[in-house]
Amino acid sequence: MFKLKEHNTNPKTEIMAGITTFFTMVYIVVVNPVILADAGVPFEQVFTATIIAAVIGTLWMGLFANYPIAIAPGMGLNAYFAYSVVGGHQDITYETAFAAVFVAGLIFVALSLTPFREKLIEAIPENLKHGITAGIGLFIAFIGLRLTGIITDHPSNLVALGDLHSPSAVLALVGLAITLVMMTLGINGALFFGMVITGFIAFFTGNLSFEQGFMSLPSLPNGLIVGNPLTAFGDVIQHSLYAVVFSFILVTIFDTTGTMIGVANQAGLMKGKSLPRAREALLSDSIATAVGAMFGTSPTTAYIESSSGVAAGGRTGLTAVTVAILFILSAFFGPLVGAVSGLSAITAPALIIVGSLMMGSISKISWDELDEAFPAFLIILSMPLTSSIATGIALGFISYPLLKLVKGRWREVHPLLYVFAVLFFFQLAFLPH
**Amino acid identity at 41:** V
State mean pLDDT over 49-72.
Answer: 95
Give the burial class of 354: count Cβ atoms within 10 A of its Cβ; 0-12 exposed, 13-18 middle, 19 or more buried: buried
State mean pLDDT over 70-85.
Answer: 87
Question: Where exactly are the structural domains of the chain?
Answer: 11-430
Percent helix, strand and coil across the chain, each rounded to 5?
A: 70, 5, 25
DSSP symbol at 413: S
pLDDT tens track for 351-361: 888 888 888 88
Contact 320, 58 (CB under 8 A): yes
Q: Is the torsion defined by CA of 329, 98, 298, 72 positive or negative?
A: positive
pTM of structure = 0.75
Q: For residue 370, how far is the Cα from the chain centroid?
A: 29
pLDDT tens track for 206-259: 888 887 778 888 888 888 999 888 999 999 998 888 888 888 887 777 677 767
How far from each other are the two terminal CA atoms of the chain, in whole angstroms?
48
Query: DSSP letters along 328-375, please?
Result: HHHGGGHHHHHHHHT-HHHHHHHHHHHHHHHGGGGGGS-TT-HHHHHH
From 279, 283, 350, select the one nearest 29 (Cα to Cα). Answer: 350
3-state secondary structure of 271: strand
Q: What is the pLDDT of residue 241?
A: 87
Give the list of residues 6+ apart from residue 412 with CB closer than 8 angstroms, or none. Answer: 404
Is pLDDT at 172 greater than 90 in this prediction?
yes
3-state secondary structure of 71: strand
3-state secondary structure of 420: helix
Strands 151-154, 158-161: pairing kind: antiparallel
d(CA 320, CA 60): 9
Q: How confident is the model at residue 341 (pLDDT cuts 50, 70, 90)?
A: low
